Structure 1
Amino acid sequence: MSDRGKSRQIRPSADVLSEVQQDDFSSLSGDEELRAGPQHIVVGKIKTKKPKKSLFFLKTHKCGSTTVQNIIMRFGLNHGLYFVLPYSGNYLGNPQPFDPIMINKFTIPQSKKFDIFAHHTRYNYTSVKKIMKDNAAFVTILRDPADVTESLFSYYGNFLNHVNSSFADILKNPRKATVLKRYKFGRYGNNQMLFDLGLHESLSPSVKHVNDYIEKIDYEFDLVMIAEYMEASMVLFANLMRWSLEDVVFLNLNSRNITARKILNLSQRKVLHEVNNADWLLYNYFLNKFYDRINEYGKAKMLLDVSKLIALNIKLKADCVAAVNTRGYAKTISYKARNNDWLCVHATKNELAFTNEIRAIQIERLKVLNKLKMFMYNNKTDIF
């Protein structure tokens, strides 16, 4: 994992600069030219790869995905990247599968290819590939489906009215849960993670069908993180993207106060795993893959880097958080920034406010660039 903070301090000599390997600019145009640059800087025999800047993050519901999204949005905003954005709010489809027509037309760069996709959608591989750059990494995050279900009932209060049953009743009589219709425009319900990942919303898909779809997801995604091991997930994510640990520091966003969560015993978890049997297969498959990824990374190195990240997160909270509010919607936690430092403001910012900021910036940037292009390429010199 490269230390990009240190690499910025290097001031290469003229001889070193002559060794810089430049991209071929000839194939780029418009906004792409503004960010084109060397892929590697060679200093002596040391070759430092630049961080990856193209990413599709499938934001699953109730899996800690808002915390991951904040990291991605901070990186993208800081590097002037182009986001896939809706006209308003934070959804691009869902329950409808993603379609490029859902993108706010005022946020589309000239290349019609985007750097970052980090907002809620329903996965559609073909449509996503059409609008992402060719080298985009595909990443998502999963969580024990028992906790996902508990969180859905707790977070979406009207869910109880929709199913005409309490969470306790469903734990006692799981047959009630197996016939649930999806709630709130069809977005939420059983096997939530596979639904977000685009599996057809059949209430009882066959085991073979589920396993085949899981293998499809495994083939298409570069990394599937596990919410229960968030720090280790972010270390693997940083390694995949060639980002520094400083790039992936985080505060837990949109998470509920511990007092608002129902602690599930083993028998209750078993009931919810049976109710969400497809998600249970999905979760276990990628939990095993996650273990393999840690082995590949190195257990000792993982422990060291997780310790570093924990220390960075403690510093972030000490530097940036003036107060913690535990009385948000569904008793979610929010933060009051201690100061106007860029990182502090954005690490504590909620998803909707951050999305609105990025949308406004991207629209304004494209407006200015398009106006300038019109002047440069269409304006006649004989104006007098």
Structure 2
Amino acid sequence: MSPWQRCEPLPNATGRAAEPCGAVSVAIPLAMMLAGMAGNALAMLLVSRSYRAKGSRRKRSFLLCIGSLALTDMLGQLLTSPIVISVYLADRAWDAVDPSGRLCAFFGFAMTAFGLCPLLIASAMAAERALATRAPHWYATHMSPRVTRAALLAIGAAALAIALLPLAGLGRYALQWPGTWCFISTGAGSAAFAAAFAALGLLSLAVTVGCNLATIGALLARCRARAPRAGRPWGRIATDTLLQLLGIMCVLSACWAPLLVTMLRMTWGHSLEHCRAVPTPAQGSAQHRDCDFFLTAVRLASLNQILDPWVYLLLRRMLLQRCCQAASAVSHCSNANCGARATALSEETRRTAA
């Protein structure tokens, strides 16, 4: 039997059994899966069209990174979300869905590989943007789609190798609170593996933030130098890029930092082994809050798979359209002038992207 109690329906005011909690809880993973698949599929479609378009040679490395990120996020959701939905439909009885325990190991492997891979890709994209902005001549000489593909393959191979470490006896995957998902165990014999995953994830976040800050600094310096000559269009483009980079840092940090920091705390002795027994009010609300916070941290990390395509690609196009509409409303320009302004702004953005 699973170490967690099954989710039992509670009686309502009339004394009858209320709707099973599994039927209500399943809405969260189902909605997250559908939203993530739609956003990532749209992002891959736009990347594919942009990659084949003429004049995209300068930004093909960046497009390859975005496409790989969207593909990785979608694969992670396709491999894990159906399992979570099945467990919720079984009233959170994991042993009813996975009596052999092998599915738990696969789930933990997918969570680790497809959680670490987007973090590494995000840091690689931040480094690519920093090089393109701060060292454009070196970037034009040494960077190419071939180098980008090799780097992405190396990132994927590294993530898979780390996720396969439990097969070599270095760590293990275990069922986590509230019995609907599996991940790296932080108990005895697996603390080093959990700490390595958390440390590598935090290092990736630090590289992403550092490179994005370097890019923002270079853009601000270039904007001040070009402002007298370039006028308002360059200012708009620089502002859009700065907002996008700030959004990337905020979203990535907010989604991943809670989980990674919590895992480090757990490996340093703040264990959540008490979550293996369902906390009751008699055991204290503090323990219950710890277990719920860990679950919330994992959901935030999963939410990053949904937000990635919007922050990296889709939101930027929407932002450009909004800027054009706002400028049109203020200046009362004609439709023809507005269309010309939008076209000019889009062309300038393509020339300066990546």
Structure ranking higher in strand proportion: 1
TM-score (norm 2): 0.26
Structure ranking higher in helix proportion: 2
